[in-house]
Structure 1
Amino acid sequence: MFYRSNSDGNGGETTWCFSQVKGTLEDDVTEADLISCVEFNHDGELLATGDKGGRVVIFQRDPASKQCVPKKGEYNVYSTFQSHEPEFDYLKSLEIEEKINKIRWLKRKNQAHFLLSTNDKTIKLWKVSERDKRVTGYNTREEGGRPRDPARVTQLRVPTVRPADLMVEASPRRIFANAHTYHINSISLNSDQETYLSADDLRINLWHLEITDQSFNIVDIKPANMEELTEVITAAEFHPTECNLFVYSSSKGTIRLCDMRAAALCDRHAKLFEEPEDPHARSFFSEIISSISDVKLSNSGRYMMSRDYLGLKVWDLRMETKPVETYPVHEYLRSKLCSLYENDCIFDKFECCWSGDDQRLMTGSYNGFFRIFERSGGGGGRRGELTLEASREAAARPRQPLRARRVATTAKRKKDEISVDCLDFNKKILHTAWHPHESVIAVAATNNLFLFQDKF
């Protein structure tokens, strides 16, 4: 599918429309309710969110919404469970937050669903299964479960299976702990669906899903003297089809492609993706804004997208020298870097995502804004870009085309533009997700999950 816009370039309407919002539209929001990750499963039937309170909420596609023409992107709550609890590291006298950093779905192999969730230290494998039948007619216990008096058992009965109310159970099947000294920032499933990696600031470990008491350290950038530390790992991901390849990004703005066939410890990368810095544009904030907060390989495996503070870059895995596409997300903030540094917003870590056909990119910004970019078919150049807003105004106009938003980049502000000075930096869109097969997107705005869809 391709992105189509009816926008006149000055805040006109688009073909994207509001579908649903999950969560309470209240001003008084607790820290524990803030959404910290969003992830569709492989067929898009389920959508999971994690929050800072350690909870995982799974939404299921409404069956009726799939029968509509066009289909609707509507989801209902399927299961809610507490994934992580707050802990305390007595050896280091540190509190370990229950916040869910990442969720990754496994491909479905049977009736149950499996997903990995992690906080700063511990990764858990969860099984989510349905139970809609119950067994009745036991010989040795009552229907309520209490043991029966053997003297009262006068005849043997064959237990029968009867329909019951649907019950969704989430149970932890594996707990992978005690392998990371620093905070886990990434987990990524391998294409073999048997192994996965987890990354913290200085190390990347390789796990087998069936083995919880050991992992293999495949990247270690910790120097012998910590005073010599110059960069940290910010994100890592496996290649979607080649099980021996993975990439990881750093705070220096570099991305390394590693091949596990070359050596057990991938300290030497196979490729290094780095864009040379313009010495004339260098400033005090250059290192901070060049740090990569997220890296995502395309579904085809040919391209790779990286998000730094001000923009998106698309790289061809066959060309290391420079990105093939560059998309400025909020370049108008370059003049505000000093104030953003003072309020710590410059350290915000925005995520990014691909559409199912790799033709569109999405990432977040401030003021409840998120950006959608359309790529050209050949991988070079831009064909369209759009700024939309996840807000109460959108929720009040269901099925109505969203208004494209624009930020004034000059002193002269047009009628439908918003001034940079009026942006609300507390309304951050850090987490987004794109349905793997349809034009349905999920956007996390504080404690709310907004769902939008392309009308076509």
Structure 2
Amino acid sequence: MFYRSNSDGNGGETTWCFSQVKGTLEDDVTEADLISCVEFNHDGELLATGDKGGRVVIFQRDPASKQCVPKKGEYNVYSTFQSHEPEFDYLKSLEIEEKINKIRWLKRKNQAHFLLSTNDKTIKLWKVSERDKRVTGYNTREEGGRPRDPARITQLRVPTVKPADLMVEASPRRIFANAHTYHINSISLNSDQETYLSADDLRINLWHLEITDQSFNIVDIKPANMEELTEVITAAEFHPTECNLFVYSSSKGTIRLCDMRAAALCDRHAKLFEEPEDPHARSFFSEIISSISDVKLSNSGRYMMSRDYLGLKVWDLRMETKPVETYPVHEYLRSKLCSLYENDCIFDKFECCWSGDDQRLMTGSYNGFFRVFERGCGGARRGDLTLEASREAAARPRLPLRARRVAASAKRKKDEISVDCLDFNKKILHTAWHPHESIIAVAATNNLFIFQDKF
């Protein structure tokens, strides 16, 4: 295992260090600047973010940072474009926000890059390409593009290709719209790289990347009478290698594995993953905090990770009865659920992600904190870390981050922060892990923090 244990056991320094921060550090942050998704491409050379203003910013790995020993995780702005604009649904008299909900990269097949981005209603396929040459010497038009007077064309010219300043262009290749009544919460590319799924609260649709005017409904949990609605779909994802399998999670804390070979409409699941509830621990908030906000299949395809409000669970796809590993993220908030309900924080949707070798997990918390868990045999945890994405980290480049600890009681030790002092406006909802290296990206309001493990 090439990853090493990264906790010193007493809340001291770790092997993780600050690499970069993208975005302004001013206090005046507009709602449109808040980052709403983060995603590495398949080789980790590009990193894309989407924000609430409908913009997509793509960062490219600095070539020089890969030649260093040890390698550095440094990225520069590669392209910025407006992916979605605010719209208005006149039939329902509803505004459709431009906020980017998800970004998914396609595997690269040629010189260009392709990615899918979605807001609440519309999915777009973007082509991002480079142009560093220009053609000169046209016969029928001038260099500026104006048509030439035919009377002045006295000889035939052979156009020539000359070097030019590098330009990165983003152009929409497909627009997939009008297929979702409710807000899209997930998109996931199939391993065949030809189809993808999109999910909203009640339905999951299957699309072909070449067909924009129709999709196939593969899951529909909408009851005949909406008053009988008991759960909604919260996340969905294709299996990384088996193109016929996908999973989706629900607000009831369940995950269903579906096989598209069994039936065209996957209303009947192949497997149901659900942990029995402890009746002694039941409370008014039990159903809310058991809702799964994100589900991610491991890169190997054997395991699956789910994130609920208070923790992470790792499931073996061959065992439905209970998770094989459980990681509490911020168990100290259990005593604060009443106030979290009143300020709506209890409905926050935290994402989670796997490391490239499936040996570590990452997810976010409050106060600018995010958690990194190192998996061990039988769920034993050797490297549970609480780290912070903050200006203090940005002021200490290349120095190891200090592990943070939260004191649940009034008595707290040195270097611990009281649970009453946590800032619930500083939420780490979106994180991403480089597919091959120990480089992580963490979205903190309008800033993108990049950290790397020295090992």
Tell me the TM-score normalised to structure 2 length: 0.99
CA RMSD, Structure 1 to Structure 2 (Å): 1.0
Gaps of 5+ in 1: none
Question: In 2, distance between residues paired with 1:184 and 1:211?
Answer: 19
Sort the Cα spacing of 1:245 and 1:379 in 2 relative to 1 into closer, same or farther, 3 A.
farther
* Residue aligned with 1:335, SS: helix
Sort the Cα spacing of 1:6 and 1:384 in 2 relative to 1 into closer, same or farther, 3 A.
closer
Sort the Cα spacing of 1:215 and 1:85 in 2 relative to 1 into closer, same or farther, 3 A.
same
Listed one character per residue, the Cα deviations across residues 341-376 of structure 1 (whole Å, up to 9, x for unaligned) are 00000000000000000000000000000000000x
Question: In 2, distance between residues paired with 1:247 and 1:439?
Answer: 27
Question: In 2, distance between residues paired with 1:262 and 1:284?
Answer: 38
Listed one character per residue, the Cα deviations across residues 258-310 of structure 1 (whole Å, up to 9, x for unaligned) are 00000000000000000000000000000000000000000000000000000
TM-aligned CA deviation for residue 7 of structure 1? 4.3
Contact 1:61 1:73 in 2 (8 A): yes
Question: In 2, distance between residues paired with 1:394 and 1:381?
Answer: 29
Listed one character per residue, the Cα deviations across residues 180-228 of structure 1 (whole Å, up to 9, x for unaligned) are 0000000000000000000000000000000001100000000000000
Contact 2:351 2:363 in 1 (8 A): yes
TM-aligned CA deviation for residue 8 of structure 1? 3.9
TM-aligned CA deviation for residue 9 of structure 1? 3.1
TM-aligned CA deviation for residue 67 of structure 1? 0.5
Listed one character per residue, the Cα deviations across residues 371-425 of structure 1 (whole Å, up to 9, x for unaligned) are 00000x6564322210100000000010011011000123211110000000000
Question: In 2, distance between residues paired with 1:11 and 1:75?
Answer: 29
Q: How many residues align?
A: 455
Question: In 2, distance between residues paired with 1:168 and 1:379?
Answer: 48
TM-aligned CA deviation for residue 104 of structure 1? 0.2
The 5 A counterparts of 1:30-429 are 30-375=30-375, 378=377, 380-429=379-428
TM-aligned CA deviation for residue 142 of structure 1? 1.2
TM-aligned CA deviation for residue 139 of structure 1? 1.4
State the partner residue of 1:4.
4
Listed one character per residue, the Cα deviations across residues 409-450 of structure 1 (whole Å, up to 9, x for unaligned) are 232111100000000000000000000000000000000000
* Residue aligned with 1:64, SS: helix
Question: In 2, distance between residues paired with 1:231 and 1:225?
Answer: 13
Question: In 1, distance between residues paired with 2:132 and 2:8?
Answer: 52
TM-aligned CA deviation for residue 3 of structure 1? 4.6
TM-aligned CA deviation for residue 252 of structure 1? 0.2
Question: In 2, distance between residues paired with 1:7 and 1:320?
Answer: 32
TM-aligned CA deviation for residue 147 of structure 1? 1.2
TM-aligned CA deviation for residue 11 of structure 1? 2.6
Listed one character per residue, the Cα deviations across residues 154-205 of structure 1 (whole Å, up to 9, x for unaligned) are 2211100000000000000000000000000000000000000000000000
Contact 2:7 2:382 in 1 (8 A): no
TM-aligned CA deviation for residue 148 of structure 1? 1.4
Contact 2:7 2:383 in 1 (8 A): no
Deviates more, 1:281-290 or 1:153-162: 153-162
* Residue aligned with 2:264, SS: coil
Question: In 2, distance between residues paired with 1:316 and 1:117?
Answer: 30
Sort the Cα spacing of 1:381 and 1:6 in 2 relative to 1 into closer, same or farther, 3 A.
closer
TM-aligned CA deviation for residue 146 of structure 1? 1.0
Question: In 1, distance between residues paired with 2:74 and 2:152?
Answer: 53
Contact 1:14 1:403 in 2 (8 A): yes
Question: In 1, distance between residues paired with 2:85 and 2:392?
Answer: 35
Contact 1:86 1:95 in 2 (8 A): yes
Sort the Cα spacing of 1:20 and 1:288 in 2 relative to 1 into closer, same or farther, 3 A.
same
Listed one character per residue, the Cα deviations across residues 221-241 of structure 1 (whole Å, up to 9, x for unaligned) are 000000000000000000000
Q: Matched residues, percent identical?
A: 98
Listed one character per residue, the Cα deviations across residues 107-151 of structure 1 (whole Å, up to 9, x for unaligned) are 000000000000000000000000000000111111111111222
Question: In 1, distance between residues paired with 2:234 and 2:414?
Answer: 40
Question: In 2, distance between residues paired with 1:207 and 1:15?
Answer: 43
Question: In 2, distance between residues paired with 1:84 and 1:378?
Answer: 45
* Residue aligned with 1:337, SS: helix
Contact 1:5 1:14 in 2 (8 A): no
Contact 1:86 1:96 in 2 (8 A): yes
Contact 1:2 1:374 in 2 (8 A): no
Listed one character per residue, the Cα deviations across residues 73-102 of structure 1 (whole Å, up to 9, x for unaligned) are 000000000000000001000000000000
Tell me the TM-score normalised to structure 1 length: 0.98
Contact 1:186 1:200 in 2 (8 A): yes
Contact 1:6 1:12 in 2 (8 A): no
Gaps of 5+ in 2: none
